[in-house]
């Protein structure tokens, strides 16, 4: 499969190892469509980039990620992810396309998108062809006509999963939650004794949820399997936390949004293969 961030294999490897305790070099090579030798070289490069904060241990062809300094790790990880943060990169162009379409209530003209990125129409169409193939894996699609405009069509939940898996740090580049609010969240869930990566994932979900609520794109409905989360201990435990966030951020966090926020805490999903 062609992933959205395929141009940056290093961050893809990191992302995969964050969500799974271990992966073999064969598994990584199949997912990224490169040789195991390339994977081994990429891991060496990653370890060089993350020196002092984390290490990918490669033993008997099994890769495991160990994080020793989480704040530093976050900064170094972000640096790797943003390496191609300009419109010369297909990754950044596709992120811009998704960002524009997911925040717009009306179709976008292809020529307007090309002009905004200062690229040719043919380059944009090529990027969109690749992007459509990736979006299919999330039951999303781009529809429309060049002279009328194009739109991003699909379920809001699937759109959020796409962003979380592929381009969260670009779509949510501007911080919505202040350090004080993040500390409030962490203090509220401290007694749950959650893994540090799970906590960070929880904050990502909250950030994206608030972002979409403020843009007027709330979760209208959820599948039954997610509705069942209302009976989970975490859902009941976190109601006061969600109420406090509503008061601080001046937004309404609906029952469906609250169910969405429980997903990272109970590992109901993994990144799309």
pTM: 0.71
Number of other CB atoms surrounding residue 170 within 10 Å: 20
95-151 tens-digit pLDDT:
889 988 988 888 989 998 888 888 899 999 999 999 999 999 999 999 998 788 999
Closest alpha carbon to 54 in 40, 43, 38, 39 = 43
N- to C-terminal Cα separation, the chain = 8
How many DSSP H helices and E strands does the chain contain?
Answer: 15, 5
Q: What is the rounded CA–CA span in Å between residue 137 and residue 148?
A: 26
174 burial via Cβ count (<10 Å: 0-12, 13-18, 19+): exposed
* Contact partners, residue 183, CB within 8 Å, separation at least 6: none
pLDDT band at 12 (very low <50, low <70, confident <90, very high): confident
For residue 152, list its beta bridge partners: 142
214-273 tens-digit pLDDT:
989 999 999 999 999 999 999 999 999 999 999 999 999 999 999 999 999 987 554 444
Residue 5 has pLDDT above 50, yes or no: no
Q: What is the pLDDT of residue 95?
A: 85
Helices (H), 87-178: 90-102, 110-117, 121-135, 156-166, 168-171
Q: What is the rounded CA–CA span in Å between residue 206 and residue 203?
A: 5
Q: What is the rounded CA–CA span in Å between residue 44 and residue 38?
A: 10
């Amino acid at each position: 499969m062609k992933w959205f961030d395929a141009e940056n294999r290093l961050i893809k490897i990191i992302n995969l190892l964050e969500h799974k305790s271990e992966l073999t070099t064969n598994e990584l090579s199949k997912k990224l469509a490169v040789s195991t030798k390339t994977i081994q070289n990429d891991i060496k490069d990653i370890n060089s980039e993350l020196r002092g904060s984390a290490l990918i241990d490669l033993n008997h062809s099994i890769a495991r990620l160990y994080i020793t300094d989480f704040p530093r790790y976050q900064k170094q990880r972000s640096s790797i992810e943003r390496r191609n943060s300009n419109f010369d990169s297909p990754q950044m162009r596709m992120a811009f396309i998704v960002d524009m379409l997911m925040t717009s209530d009306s179709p976008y003209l292809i020529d307007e998108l090309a002009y905004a990125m200062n690229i040719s129409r043919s380059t944009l169409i090529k990027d969109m062809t690749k992007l459509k193939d990736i979006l299919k894996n999330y039951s999303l699609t781009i529809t429309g006509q060049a002279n009328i405009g194009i739109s991003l069509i699909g379920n809001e939940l699937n759109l959020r999963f796409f962003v979380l898996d592929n381009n969260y740090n670009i779509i949510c580049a501007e911080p919505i939650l202040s350090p004080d609010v993040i500390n409030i969240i962490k203090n509220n869930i401290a007694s749950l004794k959650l893994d540090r990566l799970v906590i960070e994932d929880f904050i990502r979900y909250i950030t994206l949820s608030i972002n979409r609520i403020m843009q007027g794109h709330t979760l209208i409905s959820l599948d039954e399997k997610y509705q069942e989360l209302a009976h989970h201990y975490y859902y009941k435990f976190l109601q006061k936390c969600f109420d406090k966030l509503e008061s601080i951020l001046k937004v309404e966090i609906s029952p469906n949004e609250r169910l969405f926020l429980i997903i990272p805490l109970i590992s109901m999903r993994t990144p799309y293969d």
